[in-house]
Amino acid sequence: MSGMTGQLEERMPQTSLWKDIFATTKIGIVNSNALTTFTGFWLALFYNGIAPSTSISTLVLTLVGSSLIIAGSCAINNYIDRDIDHLMERTRFRPSVTGKFKPNTVLTMGFVLLLVGMLLLAQTTLVATLIGGIGAFTYIVLYSLWTKRHYTINTVVGSVSGAVPPLIGWAAVDPDLHIVAWLLFFIMFIWQPPHFLALAMKRCEEYRAAGIPMLPVIHGFAMTKRQIMVWILCLLPLPFYLSSLGVTFVVIGTLLNIGWLVLGLYGYKKEDDIKWSVKMFVYSLNYLTILFISMIVVTLF
C-alpha cells in the first residue's frame, strides 16, 4: 500500500495555489462559457440597436458575475464528487482529491463564488440573475446530486445548465428575451450531448470504475454513436432560423453542421470506436468556438 501511495505522490504534478483554485473551479469550463455569455450579450446589443460603448459596465458585471456563478457551481460539484474523482484519470489530481484543499474549503469556496456572482448579476437585471440561479440549481442539484449517478439521461439534464450562459448575456441587456436568445440556448443545449457522449466513450472505463451510468457504460458504444449522430442531425436546421444574421452566418453554420455529420458518418464503420470518439470530441470543441465567434463577426460588417 505504501508503495502505491509513493507512486501516486511521485506522479502528482506540482501546482501553485492559483492552479489549484483554477482546477477546483474548472477554469476551462468557465472560459468557454464566457464566450457564449458574451455572444448573447453582444447579439442583444445588436438586435436592440444599443451602442457597445454605453454598456461596458454592464458587460463587466455580466461576464464576471456569470463566470463566478459557474466557477462556484463547479467547485460545489467537486465537493460532491470527491469520493469518486480519484477513480478517474482526468480528475484524480484535483485538489479536493489530493487533500490540497479540505472538503469544507472547497464547499465554502463554491458558495462564496456563487453568492458573489449572483450579487453582481443582480446589478444588471432580475431576469439575468434568475437564469443564473436556474443554471446553478440545475447543475448542482438536478445533475450533480440527482441524475449523474443514477440515470443515463444525466448528460441531457446537465446540458440545460450549460445552455443558459447566452441567455444570461442576453437578459443582462434585454430581459424580454428575443427568439434569437432562445435559439442560442437551443444550439448550446443540442450541441452538448454529442460533445459529452463522445468524451464519455473515450473515458468509458473510467466512468464504469466510478459507477457513473453514462450511456456507453450502460448501453454500449453502438447506441451511443447512434445517439451522437441523432443529436448532430438536430442541429442542421438551426442556422436557418438565424437568417437575420445574414447569409454568411447561415453558410458557416450549415457547413459546420455538415462537416460534423460527414466526419461522423465517414468513420462510423471504418474506425475503431475510441478513435472515432476522439475525432468527434475535438471537432465539437472547434465547432462551438467557430460558430459563436462567427455570430459576433458577421454583425461587424
pLDDT band for position 11 (50/70/90)? low
The pLDDT of residue 103 is above 80: yes
Residue 2 pLDDT exceeds 50? no
Indicate whether 5 pLDDT > 80. Answer: no
The overall average pLDDT reported for the chain is 94
Domain ranges of the chain: 15-300
CB atoms closer than 10 angstroms to residue 230: 11
Q: Per-residue pLDDT averaged across 272-288, rounded?
A: 97
Model confidence at 270, pLDDT cuts 50, 70, 90, reads confident
15-300 is a CATH 1.20.120 domain = no
- Look up residue 22 and give its amino acid: F
pLDDT band of residue 14 (cuts 50, 70, 90) is confident
Residue count of the chain? 301
Average pLDDT over residues 124-150: 97
Looking at this protein, which amino acid is placed at residue 186? F
221 vs 13, higher pLDDT: 221
Average pLDDT over residues 114-128: 98
Is the pLDDT assigned to residue 10 strictly greater than 70? no
Residue 142 has pLDDT above 70, yes or no: yes
In the predicted model, is pLDDT for residue 223 greater than 90?
yes
Could you read off the pLDDT of 16-64 as tens digits, one per residue?
Answer: 899 999 999 999 999 999 999 999 999 999 999 999 999 999 999 999 9
